[in-house]
Structure formats: C-alpha cells, structure tokens
Structure 1
Amino acid sequence: MHAGQLAALRTPDGVKALTTAAELAGGDPLAAAAALRSSGVPAGLAAAALTQADLRRRAAGKFGADAGRMFFTRAGLEQATRSAVATRRAARLRAAGVRTLADLGCGIGADAIAAARSGITVYAWEADPGTAAVAAANAEVLGLAGITVTAGDATAADLSGVDAVFCDPARRRDGRRVFDPAAYSPPWDFVAALPARVARTVLKLAPGIDHALIPPGAEAEWVSVRAEVVEAAFWCGPLAEVPRRATLVGAGELTGTGDARAPVGPVGRYLFDPDGAVVRAHLVAEFAALIGGHLADPEIAYVYADTPVPTPYARCIEIEEVLPFSLKRLRALLRARGVGRLEILKRGSALDPDRLRRDLRLSGPAAASLVLTRVAGAPVALIGSPTSGTTST
C-alpha cells in the first residue's frame, strides 16, 4: 500500500468505504467490489478498502480489537508480532529499566505499539516508505504519541541516545520468505553487530534460525502461541537471564542450558510430544527431567514415562501398541480396531503421512493416534490415544 492509498482511506469518504467494506468482508470479493462501486466509491478506493477490510479480518487473531482500527500491508501482517508476544516483550524491557527504544525494521508497528503502551518512548525506522506510513498511522489511530516513525534505512539510525535496540529484520522479498540471514533487511552483518553498539539489544528472528548465530552470552528464546512456534528472540547483554528459554505464551516458561542430554530407556506407557518451542530451544532434556521421563532414541525428541504427568509443555499420548513398522501389519491392526480416524505424528521417519493414510485404507468408527518414529535406531509404529483433547481426522 502506497502513501496515497493510505491517505485516501483516512478521508471521510475512505472511512465510509472501509465501514461498508467491513460489512462485505468474507463474502464474494467480486460482488463486494461491485457493491462498493455501485454506491459511488471510485474503483481504486474500493479496491483499497476491500483489501484493508480483508487484512483487518485476518489480523484479528494477532491484534484483537485493535485490528478493526489499524492499517496493514500483506507482508507487514505476515511478519508482525502477535500483540500478546509483543506485550510480554515490552513488559520485560520496561522491567529491565528501558525507557527509550530504537525499533529497527518496525514494519506496521506491532512491537512499537506494545512498547509505547508500556511507557517506553520508541524511535522506529522502516525502510519501505509505504509501510512506514502505515506504522505512523497505526500509532496515531491508537492514540500513541510516544512513537516516532522514520522512513529510511535502519543502518543509518542514530543509536547514541537510546537505552535499548529492538531489531526485527525483514525476512520477505518479492512476496517470498527469505531463509538466508545475509539476505535479511537490514542484513545479518549489521544485525549481528548491534549488541556491540548497544548492550541491551533484542533480535527477533525466524524460529528456524541457526543456533550457531546466537550472539555470545545471549539468551536465546523460542516463543510458542497455542502450540505454534512463532518466533525466536535473542536477548543480549544485561537483558540475558538464562542461556535458553522456551516460552509458551499464557502457559509457562522452561529454561536451561540447551546442551544437557536426556537419559535413554525403553518405550514407556506414555509418550510426551514436547511443544515446538521446547524442541527448538534444545530443552528436551530439561523437560524430561521435569516429568521424570527419558528418550527411547537419543536423537528423537519424544519423551516417555510410566505416568501421565500433567504438563503445559507437551501433549501426552497413552501407548497401547508398539510394533516394528510394517505397512501390512499396521493396516491389519488398525482394521481390527475399527479405526477410521487417525492422527499421524512423526519424528525420525521419512514416510509421507498423507500417502500412508491412503495406503492404510482406514475404515471404522474408532479414532487413534499413530506415532512414526525410531527406537534405538529402528523404525517403529506406536498406536495409542491422547490422554486429553481429541485426535484429528
């Protein structure tokens, strides 16, 4: 979205078009566009209003009620921090004594908004002029005077007068994800050098970031929201509290060194499938110690125990059958149990779950969970059922 479109949406006619578009959102887009144009809305404004209405509807899961007032770009919404995660980060920065923050690569302003609401003055930089205009508009419509947005290269930002730096480098180019840190914007060599310039630095990165890129002495945190790993964050300098942290927003935090090894033993009665944040933070051994569990294969992050210990850090499945993997034998066993709905989990298996599901030719009223994994290096199939929740079809 360019600045002209944003300005048009903020006029009285634009606000009216947005209101009408919101009522039409979720339906047939061609019919919605026709309805707007027939009411006298120019084609360009109608298209911009319908796009914003759709993005606001999608943004509700990240921003709650704020989404209905904010402005978005598609790429900006994709990378924007969820409000619950940004709020938690802002509270931690505020508690650490941060009062002024440079937000480098602010996108549509999600983290700047949370920081300003916590009482931190934010100096935000965004390379894309249209996105910078969106961030400034969002600060204004939400009534946040403590955010200054500059449209420009974050590498030119003056960091001499701030308490801390937050950097969320853009990881999309031409609508596609960028996986090479050297291709981030700003690039990785600039991002990695920030802790040496401002001791209190936080770097927000993709969950799949290489552990080898963790700055020396930094705390590496992986964050999960409702079992989805949404980001990694490196807390540098005085902000580092522990080597590794797995944060399940609203559920709990697990910390540790990230280099411990869990004991290895036989398959137990209960299998625990750790949350992705626990796995990515390399805290499986700490989780195993928490529940008195062990691994059945030293390279597979499934934890086994003989009791179903309640925990927010993993799903628990009661194991009823353990067999060496054999398609013929597995099909016969599931047929005998009348399984027509099968959840398939896998770690350490190259099998394609969708193809396997077709090959199993499931039929019957029962539901089950199938775990494809390795035990002592050998492929096995574990059949069971969750101790809570429901299986997927």
Structure 2
Amino acid sequence: MPRSFANLKDLASHLRQELTSKKFVILYAYNGTGKTRLSTTFKDLGKVDDQPDTLYFNAFTEDLFYWDNDLEEDRERKLKINRNSRFITALWELEMETRIRPFLDRYADFDFRIDTDNWEVIFSRKVTNPNFDENVANPLEERTQMETHIKVSRGEENIFIWCFFLAVVQLVLDGADTYIWVKYIYIDDPISSLDEHNAITVANHLAQLLTRTDKGPRTVVSSHHVLFFNVLSNELKNKAHRHFLKKGATSDKYILEDTTSKPFLHHLATLVELNELLSSGALYTHHFNMLRRVMEQTANFFGLNSWSDCIRVEEDDPDRTLHKRIIDLMSHGDYSLYEPREMMDENKDHFRRIFRTFIATHPFNEMLFSSEAN
C-alpha cells in the first residue's frame, strides 16, 4: 500500500528509518516532484551542532564549480572550485587527479589538471599537430600536442563533476579520515539528459562502486530517468528498497509507493497517475507531454510508424488530425512543470477523449485503473 507523508521532513525521516534494514533506497520521481529539496531535507536532518552526516550530490553540488572565462584575453578558461565546501576537503592531500582520472576516462576524451594553489581546474585535449609530416623523419616533431585551456561543454563539465564526486565516494568507502563524518550518501539525478547507453553505463558503474564493500555509508539514489532507475534496481537487487515518489493531494504532501517486490514500468505508472488526474479534474498543460511519452513507448513496442498511430479513431474522423495537433502543440510549448498552467475546459475535454480512447484500444490491464475517470 502506498504511504502518505505530510511533508518532506516526515518523508526524509522515513527514508532514514528504511536504511536501518537495507543499505540502499532507490527513488523514481518525475521532475518537479521535489527530489532535490528532499535530498537537502535528508541532509539537514543529520546535522548535529552544525556537523553533517550526509555526503550528497544534487544541483547544489554542481554549483560548487563555476567558470572564469578569461574575458580579457579569451584564452585561459578555468573551472573554479569553492574551497569552503566540506565536499571538497583537503583537496591537495588526497591526490584527487589520480583518483578522478580512472572514472573520467570511462566517459570523456579530454584531460585536466587541478591547480591546488588557486583552486581551479584547467582542461585540455590531445589534438593532431598540423605541422607533423609522417614522411619526414624528425624524432623531435610530435605527432600530437596538448591544446591547453579549452572550455569543455556543459555536458562534459557535468561528467567531470560527477567523476569528482565518485572519487570522493571512493575515499569514503576506503575509510579516509577526511570523510569519517559521512554516515549517509544521497545522490539525486547524477547526470541530467542521459541517453540510453550512458544511463546503463552510469548506473552499472555506480552500483559496482557502491557494492565494493558491505561496510560504509547507507545510500539513497533518486532519479527521473526510468532506465537508470531500472538498471540500478537490477544491479542492487535485494539490497535496496525501491519506491515511486509522487506528489500528494496538496503541494506539501507526498506519496511513496513501494516497487521493491514488483517491476516498475514507467509508462504504466504514468497512465495510472493520468487516470487519477482525470477523476480529480486537476489537469495541466504538461500532462499532454506525459501522455505523448506513453504513446511513443507504446508505438515503439508495437512497431508502429509514429506515436500518432496510437490515436485510434475512425479514419474519416476529423478529430484524428485535431488531436494530433493538440498533443503536438501542448507537448512543445513553453509549459513548465515548475509553473504549471491548468488546461482550459475545452482542452480538458479533448484530453479526456484522447486518453480514454487510448486505454480502451490498447491491451492494458484493466486492474490498473481501479476507478472510472470522470
């Protein structure tokens, strides 16, 4: 049975309690549910006399790094490090470059150097020497040279910070005195915008690292990426509690649905949530996007040409084109989960008809929908 929590503090306390019986808790939740705020609340619960017990990775972790773009010379671009964070303790004593590089080599083709005097990271990449001539025997001429002070992309920056965090986790697991205060690790959405290959790779590598020893901190991992969630669940198996985290009836309430004993299928969970929203009438524009994603997964499963083939109406029904255009418009418009806009009554009617036709003409288990939508 799903459990309801009055606020994030109660939910975070419950997760800490669950970690007394399992080493891991894995949470799946949509963007905008409150995953980052939950990780911060979990961390704050462990503070005693301003001393934390949780090493966490979330959006705030990435903010510990910021760029100096060398606006005057436009050459020596550096990623600065906030030296005041407990996350980055005694950087110069721990051989962090040596620890980070094996992780980074799995994902990236650039190199880096940490300047521990100025607390900054300088990136570089090997490039072909344009002056090299393989037909001229000149042992002093190098085939490749280092291009220093490159500015990596935003995605590459995120990967570097993630690998920096993994190196810190490794120190924790190795029992480094610097991180003896860490009793819990909380990881929220390790790398955003993962494609399928990287979702599998990151989840697999993370599981290998965390299960190196039965000792060490208890860990919570939350994600909005269903493939990452499922791969991590399969890797950790019976060592983890697994949950689907949803918002409750009001913005400050939360529901935790246990998925430990059954496989979690994102598209089915989405359909159940949309069915409940039909009953309540609390339909917002971003729900068209959620419905389209389910149709895309369904079309892929059945080998259809397009998600729009899931809009099953009579061929001569003019609403077929109308409904496709409505979903297209509402899925790609400027409709944010963080500033939700309620649908107009006319669009609610269209949404109800599209949704009901979709579940009626595809072989979903009727037991998913325990009550009729209004």
> Which TM-score band applies after superposition, normalised by the shorter structure?
0.3 to 0.5
Higher strand share: 1
TM-score normalised per structure 1: 0.31
TM-score normalised per structure 2: 0.32
